[in-house]
Structure 1
Amino acid sequence: MRVDRAQGDPTAAALQEALGRRDWRTARDLLVPVTDPDDHAFYVSMAADVTGLQDWIGEWVDAEPSSTLPLLVRGAHAVKWAWEARGGARASQTREEQFKEFWRRLKFAENCLDEVADRDPDDVTARVFLVMSARGRQVDRDEAQRRFDDVVARHPWHRIAHEQMLQYRCEKWFGSHDEMFDFARSTVAKAPTGAPLGHLVAVAHLEKWLDLPVGEDGEYIGDDAVRAELNAAADASVRHPDYRRRPGWPSVHNSFAMAFALSGDLRSAAGQFEVIGDQVSEWPWQYLNGRQPELPFLEWRAEAAGASG
């Protein structure tokens, strides 16, 4: 088993295949019909993951200067390209030249995304990626909130925007554990039942678990109160009768599966693994094995299956 970059989505796979061979016309025809803001951001994110896109996407931009779509894909890709330059290490372990290239690429990305937002006031996806880039650009709290508000004013329960804002509010970035949990809990409390955003609670617990010393981490996430909150969040979202899978659904269920597994609630974890099947996502399992996230996924899936009978 390996992580599927398209997350099992046929449209995402076709999109990545087309862009991999520099066929922007096919990519355009796959993206244009997508109107739901959550789905659109997911597919643009899939396009942005294509390696080497920066080498030729100028051809698409030049060919369709009146369209904001190629500029959007270029800007979204540049955000992810910037994070490639920085790497996944903590700031103290990142070289100065990496930071310089990181900031250069992020500035280019934001120039593209700002132009899309200026030209198309209704565009949501460009604004989502500006929320994503806020951490890297180290914008202040007011600016980060303004970017997030620009998204939710147009689409109140946008999944990726909420995920990115949660990260901004993490202690390892510009917030605190309390602020992170306040954001996650208030979002879940206000969101429609069956919305996937319940996983923000699982992500918050994983982030705090990750930040604690060995020994304290297991004691924390195995607490009865944590397990109870994880189950309540799942009942309000992915286990609610109104829940429907949307493009990008595997990451939501993988977050719950890992949180349940680490908490010791293997029966609940097994339920999530059953939904996931083989659609392991890189995040959050990379917290356990950065190079081969599928390995801890398989280990915990087997343990959860055994425990649940």
Structure 2
Amino acid sequence: MGVIEVDRARARGPRVIPDRPWADIMLDEAVLAVQRRNVEAAIPLLAATRGDPEVRALRIEALSRAAVGMSRGIESLIARDQANPDLWLWLGRTRIEEAFEIKPEVKARAVQARRLEAYHSAMESARQPLVTAAGLMPADPVPWESMLWLAVGLERPRSDKDSVWYECARRWPTLYPANVARLITLSPGWGGTATEMLEFARTVVAKAPEGSPLPALIPLAHFENVAAERTPMSRGGWFGFDAQREIVAAAGQWSQRRIGPAHPRSIEAHNAFGAAFFLSDLRRPARGHLTRTGGRFSRLPWSHLGGEPENQFQRACNKLNVITN
């Protein structure tokens, strides 16, 4: 799939592929199969990831979101294969995604006590499957990455989040989604501070291995920082000059390191940089990164802009005359 810039792009708009920020055809097919309630289609896809935590984490996340409402089906698979770590991991992460679907809005919590109780119960139900998965594959960091989101979802004390991060990082310190989860636990919106969050992002990026999209933590950190203070009525630009300069430097660092096959999270990183450059009115680099998404947008950072991420992504593509074909 290529992407071109044309004068009539505003009329046609981008060909958007909703919530599939990856270049993995087999995962596309498995997600469709699971959405059609064929949960068995995921089994070989997950088994093939046991030696690659980055691909494993991506596929678990994608297939869990596809399986929302179908955790009972995964339980049935486990009943036939109770020693399968892939299934326990999938069940735990699916329960997390199911819980997030029923999480009450903050403003409504006072009048939705029952729903909040149901949310906490649903989220807590993910713990045992994830612990089981971790026990079956002790070297696997992905159950711990999921437990980071569990700690975020339950708003656990900082010490709990730190201990889960330690277990994940000592197994695979450069796991992209785990570093994103850690960034969020340190963000002002989740009880951390801008200083600590940005220091973490900069330290990780400075040590990022060749080809890793971890430099995208820089724009994501700046999004988290601004979003914590921004309101729907806020006016003016998102990023000041210093933030823009740091984002430009991080983008350059990543592009210089991108040698060999693309990282499984490259499209997510292109979304992060593309959104940041778009909001900074840096049209050429914004267009370059959004072109490389192939019309596949990620929830972060577009959800920070308000409304549906798809609408924000499409708006940016329209303004930059970027379409897919």
TM-score for both structures, normalised by structure 2: 0.85
Match among 45, 54, 63 for residue 61 of structure 2: 45
Aligned equivalents of 1:113, 1:294: Cα separation in 2: 31
Match among 14, 17, 32 for residue 17 of structure 1: 32
State the match for 1:234 in structure 2: 251
State the match for 1:4 in structure 2: 18
Aligned equivalents of 2:119, 2:53: Cα separation in 1: 27
Q: 3-state SS of the aligned residue for 1:254? A: helix
State the match for 1:267 in structure 2: 284
Aligned equivalents of 1:217, 1:11: Cα separation in 2: 43
State the match for 1:85 in structure 2: 102
Match among 38, 52, 72 for residue 55 of structure 1: 72
How do 1:140-179 residues align onto structure 2 when only pairs under 5 Å count? Answer: 140-179=157-196
**Structure-2 change in CA distance of 1:250 and 1:197 (3 Å):** same
The answer on 1:29 being equivalent to 2:62 is no
1:34-58 Cα shifts (integer Å, max 9, x gaps): 2210110100111101232223221
Identity within the alignment, %: 24
How do 1:58-137 residues align onto structure 2 when only pairs under 5 Å count? Answer: 58-87=75-104, 89=105, 91-94=106-109, 95-137=112-154
After TM superposition, give the deviation of residue 244 of structure 1 in Å: 4.4
Pick which of 243-252 and 128-137 moved more.
243-252
Aligned equivalents of 2:132, 2:144: Cα separation in 1: 11
Aligned equivalents of 1:260, 1:61: Cα separation in 2: 45
Q: 3-state SS of the aligned residue for 2:257? A: coil
Aligned equivalents of 1:241, 1:74: Cα separation in 2: 34
Aligned equivalents of 2:310, 2:18: Cα separation in 1: 10
Aligned equivalents of 2:173, 2:98: Cα separation in 1: 28
Q: 3-state SS of the aligned residue for 2:297? A: coil
* RMSD of aligned alpha carbons: 2.2
Q: 3-state SS of the aligned residue for 1:252? A: helix
How do 1:281-292 residues align onto structure 2 when only pairs under 5 Å count? Answer: 281-291=298-308
Contact persistence 2:130–2:143 (CA under 8 A)? yes
Which amino acid in structure 2 is aligned with residue 16 of structure 1? V
Which amino acid in structure 1 is aligned with residue 314 of structure 2? L
After TM superposition, give the deviation of residue 305 of structure 1 in Å: 4.5
Contact persistence 1:258–1:285 (CA under 8 A)? yes
The answer on 1:298 being equivalent to 2:314 is yes
Aligned equivalents of 1:93, 1:236: Cα separation in 2: 43
Q: Which runs of 5+ in 2 are unaligned?
A: 1-14
Q: Which runs of 5+ in 1 are unaligned?
A: none
Aligned equivalents of 1:111, 1:290: Cα separation in 2: 34
Aligned equivalents of 2:75, 2:277: Cα separation in 1: 44
Aligned equivalents of 1:180, 1:218: Cα separation in 2: 23
Contact persistence 1:169–1:180 (CA under 8 A)? yes
Aligned equivalents of 1:59, 1:235: Cα separation in 2: 48
Aligned equivalents of 2:311, 2:38: Cα separation in 1: 34
Aligned equivalents of 1:145, 1:244: Cα separation in 2: 32
Match among 236, 239, 243 for residue 218 of structure 1: 236
TM-score for both structures, normalised by structure 1: 0.89
Aligned equivalents of 2:236, 2:204: Cα separation in 1: 26
Contact persistence 1:195–1:238 (CA under 8 A)? no
State the match for 1:138 in structure 2: 155
Which amino acid in structure 1 is aligned with residue 236 of structure 2? G
Aligned equivalents of 1:138, 1:174: Cα separation in 2: 9
Aligned length: 302
After TM superposition, give the deviation of residue 285 of structure 1 in Å: 1.7
Aligned equivalents of 1:119, 1:305: Cα separation in 2: 49
Aligned equivalents of 1:53, 1:124: Cα separation in 2: 24
Of structures 1 and 2, the one scoring higher in RCO (CA 8 A, sep 6+) is: 2
1:172-212 Cα shifts (integer Å, max 9, x gaps): 11201111111111111122243101111101111122233
Contact persistence 2:130–2:147 (CA under 8 A)? yes
Aligned equivalents of 2:311, 2:65: Cα separation in 1: 22
Q: 3-state SS of the aligned residue for 1:48? A: helix
Which amino acid in structure 2 is aligned with residue 4 of structure 1? P
Which amino acid in structure 2 is aligned with residue 14 of structure 1? E
